[in-house]
Structures are given as structure tokens and as C-alpha cells.
Structure 1
Amino acid sequence: MMEFFKFIGHGFDIFMQYTAFANVTVGHLIMITVGLIFIYLAITKEYEPLLLVPIGFGILIGNIPFAEAANLKVGIYEEGSVLSYLYYGVTHGIYPPLIFLGIGAMTDFSTLLSNPKLIILGAAAQIGIFGAYTIALALGYLPQQAAAIGIIGGADGPTAIFLSAKLAPELTGAIAISAYSYMALVPVIQPPIMKLLTTPKERTIRMKPPRQVSKLEKVLFPIIGLLLTCSITPSAIPLLGMLFFGNLLKESGVTKRLAETARGALIDIVTILIGLTVGASTQATTFLTAKSVGIFVLGAVSFIIATTGGILFVKFLNLFLSDKNKINPLIGNAGVSAVPDSARVSQMVGLQYDPTNHLLMHAMAPNVAGVIGSAVAAGIMLSFFVG
């Protein structure tokens, strides 16, 4: 009988060694708390729920402790595990172009075409990318790592994942989490900066209504846009090629089924996979490092610089424009590519100072330009450091 109880006790000890309770660390508990916060913000505050719910739940999945030495093949970093196969789309840059295809199929570039000068606001906001890149270099990050970190300033999660997978795959999880976090916090971060950098008079500037854009212009834009931008930065072809292809599917009028699939089922499936696997990649044993914390801080700096750069550039541009052609600087924040949240913030802040002054359609122009701008910036970084 004693032998039997010894056998049961030994088996129970082995069983306990495989449970999460025997392998939990403070790091796991910290990351689980972060995951719960993400889910809380998504559900109660509705901050980017389509992103934060998958990412938050992925963080929970990735931080259930297990005995790594047991070779259970359940962790995202264990070769042969299901999560590892799903994460392949992140580490090899497969998911981001598919996201861009869906974005192209749901984006209306009419506001940009009606007032082309606003495209430079999307370019101006990219100063955050190069500002954070410079700071990261000064802090001792490798050039490739600094470039991948800097792209967070574009507030474009897919672009951040695409570039980090190419230049600094070891930082992809931290960069992706940072990029998506700041995209979700756009309504919190940007308004104080916008109010600080503008005067009450500037916030009430009325802009000319957008002109009507013809179908021919809409059809030609993705074709000309592809040839122009990708000729400048061929490294961005995977992102920009899919973006403009998706937009042509939408605007051609003859591929409605394909456009609906791209902006519906396809982008939803890829969003689930990218969010869940990026969240799961925050496994405490490999993710929770000083570098990861540094990336999160640099991401905030990059985002603040980008928002500031867009607003100040509008103020500078207004020095050379007549009163009837001036641009409301509140739309300068929309130069980052957090579509359409940044444009909604422009509208929200503008209505606080003039309830009849609607800036949403104007802000959408630099907002969609920011999507193109961040992809071009990523292509430039990629051409510098790959090869």
C-alpha cells in the first residue's frame, strides 16, 4: 500500500511540475495584468476593440506559464507549435500586406484628391519616425533596431510589424504592441497636444468644402499612386502595391465582390491572426526586458513628435496662404496613419470650439496620406538597412 501511495505522490509531483502554478513568475503576472488592461480598455472604453481584444487575449495565452524544458510545443517560440506556425505570418511579413489590401479596399481617397496639398501633411507627420530613430540611435540601439522602433511614430501597426520583421525580428513583439497601443490611445494622447499648440482663433478656421471628385480621378489615383510611390521606394512594394490594388478593386466598380471580400472577411481574419499572435509573442520569459520597456517609451516619444510635427507644419504653411485658403491646424494631427481615429479626434476637438465647423472630411485627407507616408518611410528605412 505504501508503494502505491508513493507512486501516486510521485505522479502528482510530476503533474504539478507541468502546471502553470509551478512555473509562474512575476513577469508572467505582470504581462497577464497588461493583457487584462487591454481587454478592459477595448470593452469599456471602446479603444480600438478590433485590435485590443485579440492582442489582449493573445497576451493571456502567451503568458500562461509552462515547463519549457518539457518540449510541449505549445509556446509561440517553440518550433512545431501551432502558435509558431501562425506567428510565421508576422515574422515573415505576410500579414501586413494583406491588411493593406483590406485598407485600400475600404479607403476613399476623394478628400485627398479634392485638395492635393493636404498630402504634405501626411508627409510632415512622418518626422516622428525619423525623430525617434535619432533618439534610439543616441540611446545605443543598433541602426536597424532604431529604424524599426522609429516607425511606431507613423501610428501604423501593420507597417511597424512589416519593418521590424525585416530589420529587427527580435523586437517585433514589443514594437507591434507599442504601435497598436498608441493607435488605440489616439483620443487620449493627441487632444492635449493639439490644444497646447494652437490658439482659439486657429481652432475655428473654416476650410473650403471639398470639391466633387470624378470617377476617372478615383480610378487613375491607385494606378498613378502605385507607379509614383513605388518608383521612389521599391522596397515598399509589398505594402503600397496591396494598398493601391485594394483601392482599385473598390473604385473600378467592376470588382465589387473582390473589394467586399478584401475589406470584410479577409481583413477580419488577418486582424484576428495578427492580433492574437502578436499578443502571444509577449511571453514574459523572452519579452519582458529593459529593451521592451525602452521601446514603449520611445514609441510614445515618436508619436508625440509626429503629432506635433503635423500641427506645426500646418501653422507654418498658413503663413503663405490667403485667409480664404488657410488650413485649420487641428487637422495636422491626422497626418499619422491611425485611420480614421486621428481624423475623428480633429473633428471632436474642432467641435468643442465651434459646434458648426465640421473638420472630419478635411482631416481624412492627411489621415489617408499618412498611410501612404508611413509605408514610404518604411520603404526608405528598408532600402537603407537591407542588402
Structure 2
Amino acid sequence: MLEMLQSFWNSTGFSVITYKEFIMILVSFIFLYLAIKKGYEPYLLIPISFGMLLVNLPKADLMKDTGLLHYLYMGTKLGIYPPLIFLCVGASTDFGPLIANPKSILLGAAAQFGIFFSFVGAILLGFTGAEAASIGIIGGADGPTAIYLTSQLAKDLLGPIALAAYSYMALVPIIQPPIIKFLTTEEERKVKMEQLRPVSKKEKILFPIIVAVFTILLLPSSAPLIGMLMFGNLIRESGVVPKLVETAQNSMMYIITIILGLTVGAKADANTVISFQTLGIITLGLIAFSVGTASGVIFGKIMYRLSKGKINPMIGAAGVSAVPMAARVVQKMGVEENPSNFLLMHAMGPNVAGVIGSAVAAGILLNIF
């Protein structure tokens, strides 16, 4: 009987769990708390944190060669899921605010500065050019782009980079507000912006076609991301394939989000995450995202001055690619400062520009490396 009990104990995860795994399980609990109790991007954070929980339960072996999550992870590793996510984002996003206010492109471009800032930082810390490019792209706060670029340039770093990129996307409501408040005055945050001009249906249909043709001819390596993003938006604006749009906006988006979130979280095993290299990547990613947010806000302040107070500089923070999370943060902060302030559509312009900008930045880095 004693031998049977001993054998049973040895077969359990309790008998071999390490302190590193215990720490990662606690981290997954914190993420679940933030997602469920605080409502921080639960669609992303719940799958990521539960994947993190599962992979750190010893002897479950879900990420081994024959494990369930190992096979699901192949779509992440091979760069299949990110372009499909971009298709869904394009089908779910109104590009009208960007078309109505083309100056938003400048804010989206400014917010990409964090990518190149951390790229240089990673080079100085001894990472190779390809690895530094993959780390820097975290600054765009665009998980799919980070996964796609890393799958092409630095497969060995895919786990920690994917985890960092998606974690920062989910934690946008925590990270961005202090940076925005530090860089802006109360007067600037209260600025009400004029209503955007109406955008015609013809403009909305032509925009994704023109952007796809021009961008892909200029940077062919951006085709998977830009092509799928613009295709998704085209089916939305065409108005003739509502079933395809509904599928992309709902079923397809949620299915890929579940699989991608679980497998990204499942790469956060204790031995991978609790290491100096991974902690360095996560730190550089946070710096990249913070610098991207700050550079967007700073450029927003420049536009505030040039427009003589007509542009709220907070919308520059939405220039990162976390769509629509960053735009929602700006909207919430605008309402807190001025209850009659409605900045969401103004922030969506830089937000959409940021999505395009991060894909273009990824294309540039792919061309170089």
C-alpha cells in the first residue's frame, strides 16, 4: 500500500514542482486577476495567463512534441496567425478617421520611434542585428507584428518576445496613463477637437487598395501584414460581402485570439522566462513601448502648438499599434478631464496609422536583415 502511495505521489506534479514554476504560476494568477477583476483587456490576458498557468504545471507536457499546445503553436511559429489577425483587424476597423485627418499619419509614425530606440539599445547590449530588430518591434505594441517579424529573424526568441508584446498590449491601460499625464498639462488634456469631416464610401474603398499597392511595391516584405490588413478593410468597406465581414470580425477573430493567446502564454515556461536574457528582453520591450508612447505624445504637443491649441496632444499616445486599446485609453482620459470631451474617433486616426506604421517598420527591418 505504501509503495502504491509513493508511486502515485511520484506521478503527480506536486513531487517535482520547482520554485521557478511556482513563481510563474503566481504571475499567471496576477494576470488573471487583472483580466477578470480589473478588466484589463480580458480577451487577450485571460488566454495568455491561462496558457502560462498550464505550461508551468509540471508533467502536463502540453508543449512537448506530442502536446496539444505544441501543435497549435505551429501557426504562431510559422507566422500564419499574425497575418490572419491583421485581416480580422482590418475588417473590424474604420479607417475613416485616418482618411479624414491625414495628419494622423505623422502621429502614428512618431510613435514608432520606440522601435528604433530599443533596437539600438539591444545592439549595445550584445544582441545581434536580427535579434535587436525583433526586440525593438515590441515598441509598436503590436503582438502580431512582433510574432511575424521574430518568426522570420530570431525564432529562438519567439517565446519571450511574443509574451512581452502581448502582455504590454494587454497592459496598455496601466502603462500609458502615467506617461501621458507626465508629459501633458491639464489645459492640454482638456482640449476639445472639432468633429471630423464625413468620409465618402468611394474614399474608404480606394484607400486600402492604394495603400496596399504603394506600400507593397515599396516594401515587398510587408506584403503578408499590409496585404491582409487592407484586404480585411476592403471587404468591410465594399458592403457586398457582409457574411465574410461578420466572420472576420467575430468567429475568426475570437478563434485565432484564443489559440494565439494560449500558445503565447504557453511559451512562458519557468526556465525560459526566469533568465537574464528574457528579463532583458522584457525590460527592453517595456522601454520601447514607453518611448513609443512618449514620442507620440511629444509630437502631439508639437501639433498642439502649431495648431494653436486645436489638437489634443493625448491622441499622440494612440499612435502605437494597440488598436483599439490605446484609443480607448485616450478617450477615457479625455472624459476624466472634460466630461464633454469625445476623443475616440480622433485617436483612432493615429491608432490606425500606428498599425500601418508598425507593419512598415517590420518590412524595413526584414529588408535590412
Which bracket does the TM-score occupy, shorter chain normalised?
over 0.9
| 1:72-110, Cα deviation, whole Å (9 max, x unpaired) | 9x341x323322111101111111111111101000011
Structure 1 residue 380: deviation in Å?
1.1
Distance 1:81 1:351, change over 3 A: closer
**2:350 paired with 1:358:** no
> Where does residue 133 of structure 2 map in the other structure?
147
CA distance in 2, matches of 1:312, 1:150: 20
> Where does residue 18 of structure 2 map in the other structure?
25
**2:256 paired with 1:270:** yes
* SS of match in other structure, 1:356: coil
2:236 pairs with one of 245, 250, 260: 250
Structure 1 residue 373: deviation in Å?
0.7
Contact kept, 8 Å, 1:55 with 1:280, in 2: the verdict is yes
CA distance in 2, matches of 1:367, 1:123: 10
| 1:226-254, Cα deviation, whole Å (9 max, x unpaired) | 11222222111111111111111111011
**2:104 paired with 1:111:** no
Structure 1 residue 176: deviation in Å?
1.5
| 1:196-234, Cα deviation, whole Å (9 max, x unpaired) | 212233223332210010000011111011112222221
| 1:159-208, Cα deviation, whole Å (9 max, x unpaired) | 11111122122221211221122112212221221122122332233322
- Larger displacement relative to structure 2 (119-128 or 312-321): 312-321
1:335 pairs with one of 319, 326, 332: 319
| 1:313-372, Cα deviation, whole Å (9 max, x unpaired) | 122234444x37x32101110000111121122122222332222211101100111111
Rg: which structure is higher? 1
Contact kept, 8 Å, 1:163 with 1:378, in 2: the verdict is yes
**2:290 paired with 1:316:** no
Letter in 2 for 1:351: V
> Where does residue 371 of structure 1 map in the other structure?
355
> Where does residue 28 of structure 2 map in the other structure?
35
> Where does residue 149 of structure 2 map in the other structure?
163
**2:220 paired with 1:227:** no
CA distance in 2, matches of 1:166, 1:18: 39
TM-score of the two chains, using structure 2 as the length reference? 0.96
TM-score of the two chains, using structure 1 as the length reference? 0.91
1:212 pairs with one of 189, 198, 211: 198
| 1:19-53, Cα deviation, whole Å (9 max, x unpaired) | 21222111110111111111111100010101111
1:169-180 equivalent positions in 2, closer than 5 A: 169-180=155-166
Contact kept, 8 Å, 1:42 with 1:48, in 2: the verdict is yes
Contact kept, 8 Å, 1:331 with 1:366, in 2: the verdict is yes
Identity %: 54
Cα-Cα RMSD: 1.7
1:89 pairs with one of 66, 69, 75: 75
> Where does residue 238 of structure 1 map in the other structure?
224
Contact kept, 8 Å, 1:282 with 1:288, in 2: the verdict is no
* SS of match in other structure, 1:339: coil
Distance 1:290 1:208, change over 3 A: same
CA distance in 2, matches of 1:314, 1:284: 40
Letter in 1 for 2:230: F
CA distance in 2, matches of 1:186, 1:318: 23
Structure 1 unaligned regions, length at least 5: 67-71
- Larger displacement relative to structure 2 (264-273 or 344-353): 344-353
CA distance in 2, matches of 1:346, 1:60: 32
Structure 1 residue 154: deviation in Å?
0.6
Contact kept, 8 Å, 2:54 with 2:62, in 1: the verdict is no
